[in-house]
Structure 1
């Protein structure tokens, strides 16, 4: 018997006739251009065709509706998209949460957004704030689910309240292991009990699957995630945003490349191979030099490495990123943690809100040892027990 192919939440909604319930309602959609059907039709095209002028306007997250803006407080303006003349209301900039005037007359807000499985990726927090606004006004939220491209593995500390920011408004681990629909269910359970929420699941999907297993085209969800491997490395390499190490922005290989002018790659290379043996980590390092065209070290020659993940199921990006930072901090006096601001946080250092755990920050900042001797299992077990009750899919 032939295995049935994956069907995205938006495709389930359209193909199985769910959309007919909404033909007489006023609708808004939180999305960007990277949310597409499997045939690469933009979701909002398909919804407009099915629902006509019931789709009144669009909300856009960080990076803008066309996902062209760079990161870290590069605001997007309200605009009008060119195909249907739909108004686009930006939710990244001076405004992070919809105002009541934006939702006046709206019955349901649809959400169709790609996520990459990491707490720091801000699209889920825009959804969080949309859910908050909708609960306050008695408006339904309907989420079209999509696969988590890096699977169901969970890694990293649970975010502690003192480190809440726009890269974490709720206690999730860095690698959260959920689909965006499951995250919406978790947010409702924890914070929005009065919200009317519906999640349209994917069909023929197992949540342990990686993007490589799904035969789906990769569409950049934001400018600096050009492929699956950049997304897989992201939960660890994003920590470099809080340092003076380049995470590869301004190159063609962001989040799989790292470096700085001060690295001595001929000395660092054997230490990386010793710390991250391929048989245990599923990763190989290729030494290189690169020159970022923008962002950190723009126009300067950086020495570093490209990360080649050879065994995606073995690779643990969060622990990898933490150990990598600790090694370079111990080896190079030129290494620095950057000051704020970062993602609208004006007081705490970026590394603090990225890591989000006091104990782990103390290990990173103070302890002169590469031994990763922190036991995160208790908090993660609690989290995994909680999310198991919300799972929409088999492993």
Structure 2
């Protein structure tokens, strides 16, 4: 057995051992088997899984190993993970939503209104909304060589990129688009995205272990990722472009824990407020999370309709954490390349957080089947069929 920590726990709103009437705890217990099987298959060394329902933590466990090289270390529920692309909604998307709430930015704003140089080479019609929905026409990732001379030069080269498609005409998931959004946060607020998010999101929510560029003390709990220059990455962002930008970027760089993500997801499920502290207005949460239709390529010969929200996936090829039973179009979530994911289903007041270290130790592994299976198990526990 790989399980190393914790039994069912209700930490927040419900007394220990109490479950909402609509929750089948025996069904929920199948998460144990799913994670242990994924570890046995070699899909990840370990994981932390937390389920929130009705404003309470109803499942919280650590499995397997936090590290297998250079030494084996057991996974713990307070492990700190490189969140990879969960940075997009949690740090950058939330920051953009706050700037919209503050009246400093509009979704329909041209990016060039706030970053004039960005209009170069046919990008003058790209809006903030296009970036948030991944419909800007920007390339997914530009050449890593564009980052070799540091952050300022990298941003200059991004501003000089050409579009692959006219803005608003197609969906293509783009790290570059969220790098641009991270830069907009700084240009509009005067603070880099890491500082803005800390002051306005993470500190108010008491997400004490959520940060970019982790401190030495925090590194003691960090789950290492893959390899860089033949060495295990520990405490530095795995994403190579974010690394070249000093560890702070709009698309990657955030580190967090399952418990901190619980606080963040509870805030969203409570329409922007947690423990008496309001981070987002209810109408801003709606703006941030409601679906928008996008054209999703499914084959070389045709498109299908999908949907995204302003920073979150809703219904595309990236929707594995929803599982097979939650209704399409009613929830939202995101994945991270390193093995992380979160899925929020407001209709059932549920959030599912899966933090797996699938890229450790050799950049292999696969968290997608586990994400989907856990999402399906949780939906079944809620009576979904």
TM-score normalised by length of structure 1: 0.26
- Of structures 1 and 2, the one with the larger relative CO (CA 8 A, separation 6+) is 2
Q: Which structure is higher in strand share?
A: 2
TM-score normalised by length of structure 2: 0.27
Higher-Rg structure is 1
